[in-house]
Amino acid sequence: MNKSLLVLAMTGALASGCGAKKELYPNTGSEAYEKMVGAMTSVDEVIVDKNYFTTVALSVRDASGKRLGLLSRHDKVTVVSLAGISSRENYVQVTFRKRAYHRINQSEKYYVSFKYLSERIEDYKDFDGKYFVIQNLATERLRVYEKNCNEANVCLNKMIMETEMAVGEDTKETRSIVGSFRITDWWKFYQDHAGHYPSWYRDSYPAPPKPGSSFLKWFKNKYMPKINGKRKGDMRGAFGWYTAWVGPNHLSQWTHGTVGWGQDKDKLIKATKKTFTNLFADPRSSGCSRLNNEAVAYLREILPVGTPIVKIYAKEALLQKDRANYTEKTNDWSYILTTNNAYSTTNFSAGKDGIVEREVPMSKWIEQGTFRMDSYPTMYNFTDGEDLSSRRAKTRTTGNIYRVDAKKMKGVFYVDAGLIEGYSHPKSEKIAKGGFRRELAPAYMLMSDKLDKSQAVYTTSDDNDEDKDYGDTVTTTRVETEGRAYLNKKEDRAYTSDIKNIFVTGKKVERETSPAVRIQLSSGVLAEFQLVAVDKKDWKLVVSNETLESDNSKLQSFVKRYFKKKTSAKVKVSVRGKTLRLKKTRGRNIEVIFQL
């Protein structure tokens, strides 16, 4: 998630109480984080004027013990005094460089628990594993490669999986960053610190929505956990099954799953590209890389902590047009998702063989399935930013999601070989950098001049799959639009109308919300209604209390004429093509037509 948004949410959630007796997790505000202590157990181990790094998101307090906000994981602090807070144990005074994402209130002095400080960060920069990951933000594709280098360190890597992802929205606050990172932790059923996005599964939480549910279901209040007797949460399961924390300089942008089940495949990822208006919440992400749950579960299976994740913004190419090294286009991986180790970094993967070998009882199984992964490299053409409409960038695979000027693009990314040639991150205000400051990418990703490029192609007319028919997709759009109201068949006049907060999935109008409808009878005179679902098929148009109680003569005449002595009337609601129609047929007609 976007760091400034996340930390702001954390701070708001933590500000309600600073009394030590009322706080279950006084040092971090989180049950899981409270266990992630560093190596120091005594204040005698702490050295004044020395720099340390936070092991988790860490509460900052003033001299009275009041919470001021949160430092992020791996932030650097300097201990200036061992004299702590009189009412709390294990606190020392620190200074730190304030950053825009901190949202820490001003104070004369700052204190943190030394138990969550470490002398160094395990950055895994020299990790030497079998696989590595390249995320091309420009095309919203994640690819996993197996390293393949000869004795002369000339590398021709093999792609083993390719999957579509959703990156951050194209705003300054939410764009995904580029850089060379390493996986530092794997979380199962992760949720954000403040609980805005409750875990996909936890024992004490309500069961998640059923397979096949639309996005809208995952926002319903009944699926949120109860905190102090009240439901809390904005979107259930936003981080999906697994979440990979990365570092360094991560800005809290993780790689994680999404809402939905394994059997939903990638429909809910594709749905974020099909909508031309926002979903109930951000349809992409706030900077994280969002994958379908089967894909992220497979990453958890094969990628240990330390594995490189390299995020680039690049034009794509093929080193070998015929891709002769790729004889199979798909591979299958079987899994069993279990309830074990929810909201924890001490977890196992969901691989079926491992679950069976560990003899996990079937009572702990949630879902069993097979992930059919794409193992055939597909390149996507770059689209010049100046020629790309904003809507297309938000809703389709474009090859240039942030509409960067072509003149600022350097080099290429060979998707079939896991290599970059002449590449550097675009020097654009839209492309921010994180990760290791002095590493563009690991050496085995850098193209050797000894490789044959005679069969390379840099544009393609037949690979892009954005127009392929993927069958039915769960596409939910939130509609807020104007339309025309016709109050009587004999009356030629059309009245201006509008509708808000109605959700449409294909030809179906979602029934969980109560959209607001207004009809303007004359200048400044608005008849207001709620559209309410009665049962599985029927709807009724309910006159608002404001309209019923108005002393305006036009409103009084309208209600009397069209609703008589009632406060509501049955209406038919239908979607055809790009048209949403509300029609009252009993008594005097009301028909309202909206263009989607």
pLDDT for 321: 93
Q: Is 353 helix (H, G, I), strand (E, B) or coil?
A: helix
Q: Is 456 helix (H, G, I), strand (E, B) or coil?
A: coil
Greatest C-alpha distance within the chain: 89
* Strand (E) or helix (H) holding 332: strand 330-338
* Strand (E) or helix (H) holding 526: strand 525-533
Beta bridge partners of 118: 53
**DSSP assigned state of 480:** E
Q: How far is the C-alpha of 317 from the C-alpha of 52, rounded, in Å?
A: 43
For the chain, 596 residues long, give each residue's pLDDT as a single digit of tens. 444 433 333 333 323 322 334 567 889 888 778 888 888 999 999 999 999 999 888 999 999 999 998 898 888 999 999 999 988 999 999 999 877 667 799 999 999 999 999 998 889 999 999 999 999 999 999 999 999 999 999 999 999 999 999 999 888 889 999 999 999 999 999 998 888 999 999 999 999 999 998 877 888 999 999 988 999 998 999 999 999 999 998 988 999 999 999 999 998 888 766 543 344 445 567 899 999 999 999 999 999 999 999 999 999 999 999 999 999 999 999 999 999 988 888 888 999 999 999 999 999 999 999 999 999 999 999 987 644 444 444 545 568 999 999 999 999 999 999 999 999 999 999 999 999 999 999 999 999 999 999 999 998 765 455 444 433 444 567 778 888 898 876 666 788 899 988 888 777 888 777 789 999 998 889 999 999 988 777 899 999 999 999 999 999 999 999 998 889 999 999 988 888 899 987 888 899 998 87
Instruction: Look up residue 309 and give its two tokens.
Output: 């994740």
pLDDT for 431: 96
Pick from 45, 58, 175, 49: nearest CA to 113: 58
Q: How far is the C-alpha of 176 from the C-alpha of 169, rounded, in Å?
A: 8
Number of helices followed by number of strands (H, E) in the chain:
7, 31
Q: How far is the C-alpha of 189 from the C-alpha of 257, rounded, in Å?
A: 9
Pick from 367, 310, 372, 309: nearest CA to 338: 367
The burial of 277, by beta-carbon neighbours within 10 Å (0-12 exposed, 13-18 middle, 19 or more buried), is given as: middle
What is the residue type of 521?
L
Q: How far is the C-alpha of 38 from the C-alpha of 117, rounded, in Å?
A: 6
Pick from 207, 252, 239, 246: nearest CA to 343: 239
Q: How far is the C-alpha of 485 from the C-alpha of 472, rounded, in Å?
A: 32
In this structure, the number of other CB atoms found within 10 A of the CB of residue 133 comes to 23
- Tokens 């089940």 locate to 261
The burial of 120, by beta-carbon neighbours within 10 Å (0-12 exposed, 13-18 middle, 19 or more buried), is given as: exposed
Structural domains present in the chain: 3-118 (2.30.30.40), 131-445 (2.40.440.10), 476-595 (2.40.128)
pTM metric for this prediction: 0.71
CA quadruple 51, 52, 58, 59: dihedral sign = negative
Q: How far is the C-alpha of 25 from the C-alpha of 120, rounded, in Å?
A: 24
